[in-house]
Every structure is written in C-alpha cells, then in structure tokens.
Amino acid sequence: MKDIQLRGIGMTSERTRGRLIQRLRDMGIKDEQVLAAMLNTPRHLFVDEALASRAYEDTALPIGQGQTISQPYIVGRMTELLLQGEALYSVLEVGTGCGYQTAILAGLVDRVYTVERLDQLLHQATQRFRKLGLRNIRAQHSDGGWGWEAHAPYDGIIVTAAPAEIPAPLLQQLAPGARLVIPVGSGRQQKLSVITRTEEGFEQVDHETVSFVPLVGGRG
C-alpha cells in the first residue's frame, strides 16, 4: 500500500490519531499497550473514503449493510477488559465488521480468529488485513453464535454484536481462566459483561452500558 495512504495526511495524520489516543487516555483507558496498538492502527482505512476525515473522532460510523465500526473508546475498553494486562495466545472475535477491532487485537495477541455472518463485510476486512500485512488473523464466514470450534479453546473471546442471552458455545470454547467480553441485552442498549471461566464454573462482572447492533443468527 502507498506509504502516504497508510500514514495519512491532515485529518488522517498521525498527529490527529495521537489526539484521539490522548482523549481515550483522559476517558480512562489505562492499558498503554492497547493505546499503542490503537495509535498504530490507521482507522481511516477501515471506513469508506468519504468518512475518512471523521475516522479519528471518538464515534461509531456506518460501514454499510446497516452495521457500524465501534466507537474507539469502546474498542479500547473492551480490549483492555479482554487482556487485563496478560499476554494471550489465541483470541476469538465474533463480528468482524470492517475488521478494525480485529486489527487492534492482531497487534496484541499471537493468533486472532474472527467470524462474520455478512460475506461482503468479511471480504473487505480480509483485503484490509492483507494490505496492512497482518498475517496472524484467520477469518471465517459463519454464525459466531456457535463460536469456532476448530480452534477452541481460546484464551479470550470478544463479541462485538449483542445477543439477548450469552450463547452457550462461547462459554464452552473458553480455556480455563479465559475471559469472554460481550454486550448482553435485547434493547438498543446493553450491559457490557465479562465472564471468566473458573475451576468451579463461570464468574460474571457487569460493566458500563453500551450500544451494539444485535447478534443475528445464521449467515447473511
């Protein structure tokens, strides 16, 4: 990819990106590794060119087919909750969308597995991974409610679409001690939950209210 496109200019420059990172820090994102991964990931390449100048605002943006790229603060927050300062080997992401969250994870863990039910979005996302030279991502077109059995168990699972209830396969595909970060609820707003697999079973901690598109069953 052309260097200038990667680095960005004006509203997509590294300086603009740096301002967003400072804002996330001010809003309470503490994990410097997560912030560094976000600084190094050109969010403007994950949205339509017409929206590139807004890529470093702390806001969700449309990515087509009624879906959105998550607000940077939420991406930072969920990634921080997933890692909790630990080095994870394998992570499953449900809801690839434009692939921005996937790309952030690729810089922080060894292997990222990601599933998306909309073929067209998945196709665009995998093209971006290739252009950015991200080689530790495996992507599949499927209903993530079933997880991705072939590569389980995972050291962490992150879900970026909201189910009414936590899908059981996702719990089953957690390694001992691993965490699932997931928005849960059937309305426009959901609670962000972290479920940890313990020796005895599962422990759930609820965090802030978030607003995700619904997790939809089946492939589109």
Phi, psi for 210 (deg, rounded to 5): -130, 170
- Report the distance separating Cα 30 and Cα 34, nearest Å: 8
Catalytic residue among 70, 142, 186, 211: 70
52 contacts ligand SAH (rule: CB under 6 A): no
Helices (H), 64-111: 72-83, 100-106
Using Cβ positions, the residue closest to ligand SAH within the complex turns out to be: 97
Element (H, E) at 171: helix 168-172
| One residue of 8, 144, 183, 185 binding ligand SAH per CB under 6 A | 144
Query: Quick one: which segment of 50-58, 93-101, 128-136, 194-202 binds ligand SAH (CB under 6 A)?
Result: 93-101
Encoded one letter per residue, x for contact with ligand SAH by CB under 6 A and - for no contact, window 154-173 reads ------xx------------
Q: Is 68 in the site for ligand SAH (CB under 6 A)?
A: yes
DSSP code, position 88: -
- What's the gap between Cα 28 and its chain centre? 18
Which of 7-15, 141-149, 183-191, 203-211 is the region at the interface with ligand SAH (rule: CB under 6 A)?
141-149
- Based on the shown chain and the rule CB under 6 A, indicate whether residue 215 belongs to the binding site for ligand SAH: yes
Q: Interface with ligand SAH includes 70 (CB under 6 A)?
A: yes
Nearest to 88 by CA among 150, 158, 21: 158
Q: 70 an active-site residue?
A: yes
**Smallest distance from ligand SAH to CB 214, Å:** 7
d(CA 55, CA 198) in angstroms, rounded, equals 38
Q: Hey, which bits of the chain come out as E strands?
A: 61-64, 67-69, 90-94, 111-116, 137-141, 154-159, 174-184, 190-197, 202-210
- Footprint on residues 174-213 left by ligand SAH (CB under 6 A): 213
- For residue 43, what are its two tokens? 């969010």
78 part of the interface to ligand SAH, by CB under 6 A = no
Interface with ligand SAH (CB under 6 A): 63, 67-70, 94-95, 97-98, 100-101, 115-118, 121, 143-145, 160-161, 213, 215-217
User: Residues with catalytic annotation?
Assistant: 70
